[in-house]
Amino acid sequence: MIDRELGRRRPHRSKRRIEGQRITFPRRQGRFLIVHAFCTLILRCTEGEKAYPFGCSQKPQSYYDYENNQFPSQTVLVRSVDDFALTRRLGTGKFSDVFEAVDVNLEKEIATKKLPSVVDPRTLVVVKCLKPVAERKIRREIMVLERAAQVPNIVRLIAVVVSPDYFEKYRGSSTDLPRMPALVMQHAGPQSQWFCHSADNNLSSTSPQAHSFLTNYEIRYYLYHLLAALDGLHATGIMHRDVKPRNVLINRRGDDGMHRSPLTLIDLGLADFYHPSIPYNVRVASRHYKAPELLLGNSYYDYAIDLWGVGCILAGLLFHREPFFRGRDNVEQLHKIIAVLGIEDMWAYINKYSIEVTESLRRELETSYSPESNLSLSNRPQRVRWNDYWQALHSIAPHKKRNEASSPSLLTEDALDLLDRLLVYDHEERWTAQQAMQHRFFDVVRDRAQAELRSYETSATKAL
């Protein structure tokens, strides 16, 4: 509907998944990607345009080799399942169930005089109960959390719960399915909430008229802290690979005596160590926040996929539309992106890197958007003007009047300029977290946020 409001033909919607025989599109040698990636890496280092281009390539193997690391690591505290009392389920996913829990031992130490029904927030932890997955993935997540332990605004690993029967499986003395390990994490705060536009945390809202529960200042403030978390993570050579509102928790109600971060980036289950010119699995990130390189099957990606997620979060906040791109499958998700960013830059991106796409996706793109398709040049999707997009959103439900007093326009020149630098097809042209933090959009919050980050660094150093 939005596409029609913008005066463009809606692309053909296909429910075919991105699968099938892989071909080169355009037809060039696939090995060109490796050579191009290497040359690009050298160019980046010379020009200093991109942050942390070497990733983990200059670090010792022990820094990132989770497959050969001892499990559990000697540096990770191992505790018993009896040490924690689950209070409520926080969420469930493909790879884990997440619960809020009370640290029973800590509760005894504090021995508060509160009513028995009142839980002391200092005793709260988050227990991530893993579902049956390959042990290498568990090892990877634990090592990532260890390496990111000093990064501001990143969830902290407190302990690991491993039952004896889990190890019996690998000794060959048990044929039963072992109880999977659980990760015990620091609680983000009892009043924490997702970083999204809806006051009730409803990410399925379809009303663009619902005013943001975050003020203009708060959007800048929390987004800066998110970028600081990602910049710190990238500096350690780690890609998050699942940036979305539900993985970003904010504390609007201030300090509860626990000196919690104003923002916490959680769920590093898909995070991985970055090595330049190494192919990675493209089946990462949630569909609505997948970067174009993932949807197109470009496995030679880097930290930039995390900044695409930030761009999607910012767009959702600015336009009161969450998720911002709403495809029902990966192919339709790409169509949704094309409807906003246009097709020409995507063709240029595919050609620049000689990206390999599947045969089914190639046919889909050629049928819908190629010069030989039925679309005339004037009707091919062009990058939209953001103000036009805003008007199109409002025209969908004209009977709903927007309260200008409680929801001032967020579409400032600074905000839209930053958005243009994040929602970019070419991952090399997409701004890094370090670059984005210097944008004038954050001028009003930078001093405060930087002071908080310095305070965090000081307290983290004392804790060592």
Q: Among 368, 305, 357, which Cα is nearest to 332's? A: 368
242 classed as catalytic = yes
pLDDT at 208 over 90: no
Confidence of residue 395 (pLDDT cuts 50, 70, 90): confident
Q: What is the mean pLDDT of residues 238-242?
A: 99
Q: Which structure tokens are listed for 255?
A: 């300090």
Residue-wise pLDDT for 407-441, tens only, equals 446 899 999 999 999 999 999 999 999 999 999 99
- Sign of the Cα torsion 216, 217, 220, 222 reads negative
For residue 284, the model assigns a pLDDT of 98
pLDDT at 237 over 90: yes
| Contacts of 270 by beta carbon, 8 Å cutoff, 6+ apart | 240, 241, 242, 284, 285
Q: How far apart are CA 368 and CA 374, in angstroms?
A: 8
What does the domain layout of the chain look like in residue ranges? 2-70+192-463
| Active-site annotation holder among 3, 103, 231, 242 | 242
For residue 76, the model assigns a pLDDT of 93
For residue 455, the model assigns a pLDDT of 87
- Sign of the Cα torsion 149, 155, 157, 160 reads negative
Residue-wise pLDDT for 87-98, tens only, equals 999 999 889 999
Domain 2-70+192-463 has CATH 2.60.40.10: no
pTM of this structure: 0.85
The amino acid occupying position 172 is G
Confidence of residue 260 (pLDDT cuts 50, 70, 90): confident
**Percent with pLDDT over 90 in the chain:** 58
Residue-wise pLDDT for 262-299, tens only, equals 999 999 999 999 999 899 999 999 999 999 999 999 99
